[in-house]
Chain A
Amino acid sequence: MTEQEIVKGCLKKESRYQQLLVVRYSPMLLTVSRRYSPQNIDSEDVLQDAFIKIFEAIKQYDSKKGNLEVWMRKIVINTALKKLNKKCFTHEKSVDQFQDVQLEPIVYSHLEEEDVMALINTLPDGYRQVFNLNVIEAYSHKEIGKLLGIKESTSRSNLSKAKNILRMKLNNQEKQELWARIG
């Protein structure tokens, strides 16, 4: 069944097409939800809410403006971000505590998709959202600032902190693995 047929069915609020939409897109959208959901909230719960919003708002979807997947990703991201505590952007550790660490590709190239997901999810909420939006969704800092209700400078600072944390974690991981091999 084509994407258009599913959308048409969902427009008629037919349960079968809604189910098809869930079955087809939930694996991809669950990944998005996992990346954006706050640490104390179940990402599946966020996805369920997002799907309900998708069914309600499907009449607003215009295939000429973009594809369905991108439109649904945005809804999932917005649903997850709404559950985010705004304080998470202001109570993170200072960037000065982290050193700039340079990594060679050999350090991380062996990582699998799930490892990368797990690594991203170790980031504090405020850093993780900015990192995901900027690096993966390619949002500008201005757009991130608008979306999260923070200053552009905060977004830049959080991104920098997030990247430093990731590098440090990868570096530590590499060291541990090296010690394990020697030991």
Chain B
Amino acid sequence: MGSDRLDRFIKGKVQNHQTVSDTDLLWQKIQAKQAAKKKDKRRFFFIWFFAGLLLISSGLGLFFYANGSTEKATTLVTPSSVNNDPVQSPTSLVEPVSESKAMENNPKEKELNLIEQNNKIKKEIKIKNIDLLKEEIIYSGSDTPTSFDQESLNLKESKDTVSTNKAFKNIIPDDQNLAPSNSNFTALAALPFRIIEIDYSNTSDQFEKENKTFPKLKNPKQYNLATELFFNYGLVNKSLKSNNQAYLNIRDSLETPMDVISAGLNFRIQHKSNFYLKTGLEYQQINERFENYTTWDSTVIEPNQIIEIIYNMDGTSTNTIGDGLVDESYYSSKKIYNRYRSIELPILIGYSSSEQRLNWFLEGGLALNLWFKPGGETLSESGHSILLKEDQSYFKSRTGLSLISAIGLSYQLNDRFNLSAAPNFKYQLSSVSSGINPVDQKYLTVGLRMGIGYYW
């Protein structure tokens, strides 16, 4: 059939057809596209890394915050819990006592009973940490006094953790109050509460833990000084700018930023308003992979080569074998890890919440570069490798200012030490390249900083 013949004809003509093209140009374009794709991937990873850090930090923050609130709430004595569970335990603070009908009908008997109970309790209570108790009195009723002093409570040799409640007050009529001379004491004494024993010599630590009280600084002042030792690890994004686009593409394809590590010591002065100023010294190292390819051609003498072909008249040919010159291309690649080391002086202003054991903080500021030293290799515009240790003219010795910011969480271990974790970024405001470097080179780093702080 004509159709099949046409199909075969087209297939035969087209299947092995080769289109002539400039393969060098094609290769360059492929390399440029590869470099751009790599960059996109890096940027994508970079953004997700930072987003992940923020998410994890927020998640942890919420988790700790929620846990802290729950535990704190369970230590409050509520009317319902008191009514439902009158069992004494070392941590339950007050307990309502069920009164007999006979007692209710006989105020005198009730008075004696309460006094007897009080005396019994006074004997039992062993209080050591009076100052601590003063702060830990918990009131669960809305109409309870805002403060008690020792005398008004009429508990001469003891301080008790007291809970008063409107519901309980209502049980006893006003005319049955037994100590009219002191209204505060009346409120306490007339209530059908039994103050239970707390042996603080054994339970003070437990008490503190269960109340989740924030371990306050030993000597809170107007300004508090703290020191922080930190370590940071993160990813790097490099931006290159140049008028020579071809050179820029080559540099971009040869150099791959890897990661950043930094460590340092910060000093922080914190105002009681929770704002703080921070400064210190930071050592930073940006790691980068540099892959360079070198090709060269050479002509070598190879034996047993066809050096001449003679075509005879009868259609045959005669080959002459001998030493021939063969053009060969050589290629070498080398991989070097460049390091850009620097020492910086950060100056930051920040705000920290300090209500809880777990706090958040936000800080931002500038970092002044004091010293910058590149190591490794780079490619010159003419295509030669430059050893950065030997020729430092391509980079500045001080790179100026960087913008820095961090948002993080800190966990108070005790009244002195705290741990912190903070996703952070640093953006170089000016290029690290010197005037003779045809490419402007800047870095943006995103990382996670872990630190341990100490309040003086």
A31 to B10, CA, bound (A): 13
B interface, size bucket: 20 to 34
A48 B331 Cβ-Cβ under 8 A: no
Asked if residues A163 and B18 are in contact (CB atoms below 8 Å), the reply is no
Asked whether A104 and B2 contact (CB < 8 A) given A15-B333, A16-B333, A31-B14, the answer is: yes
A117 close to B21 (CB less than 8 A): no
Q: Are A55 and B34 in contact (CB under 8 A)?
A: yes
Q: Does A74 contact B (CB under 8 A)?
A: no
Q: Which of B25-33, B110-118, B267-275 contacts A (4 or more CB under 8 A)?
A: B25-33
Interface stretch (choices A18-26, A149-157, A172-180):
A18-26
- In whole Å, how far is B252's beta carbon from the nearest beta carbon of chain A? 14
Nearest chain B CB to A35 CB, angstrom units = 7
Q: Are B6 and A108 in contact (CB under 8 A)?
A: yes
A41 within 8 A of B: no
Most buried by B among A19, A44, A136: A19
Main secondary structure of the interface of A (DSSP, over half): helix
What are the residues of chain B within 8 A of A112 when measuring CB–CB?
Answer: 13
Q: Quick check: B11 and A135 within 8 Å, CB to CB? A: yes
CB under 8 Å from chain A, chain B span 9-47: 9-11, 13-21, 23, 26-27, 29-31, 33-34, 37
Known: A135-B7, A136-B10. A48 touches B293 (CB 8 A): no
B5 at the interface (CB under 8 A from A): yes
Cβ B6 vs Cβ A51 within 8 A = no
Kindly state the separation between the CA atoms of A111 and B17 in the bound complex, as whole angstroms: 13
Residues of A within 8 A of B6 (CB): 103, 108, 163, 166-167, 170
Query: Could you pull out 15 A-B pairs where Cβ atoms are within 8 angstroms?
Result: A19-B27, A22-B26, A22-B30, A27-B18, A27-B21, A30-B21, A44-B21, A47-B26, A52-B30, A52-B37, A55-B34, A102-B2, A103-B2, A109-B9, A113-B14
Question: A interface vs B, CB < 8 Å?
Answer: 14-16, 18-19, 22-23, 26-28, 30-31, 34-35, 44, 47-49, 51-52, 55, 102-105, 108-109, 111-114, 116-117, 120, 135-136, 163, 166-167, 170
Binding site for A on B (CB under 8 A): 2-3, 5-7, 9-11, 13-21, 23, 26-27, 29-31, 33-34, 37, 291, 293, 295, 331, 333
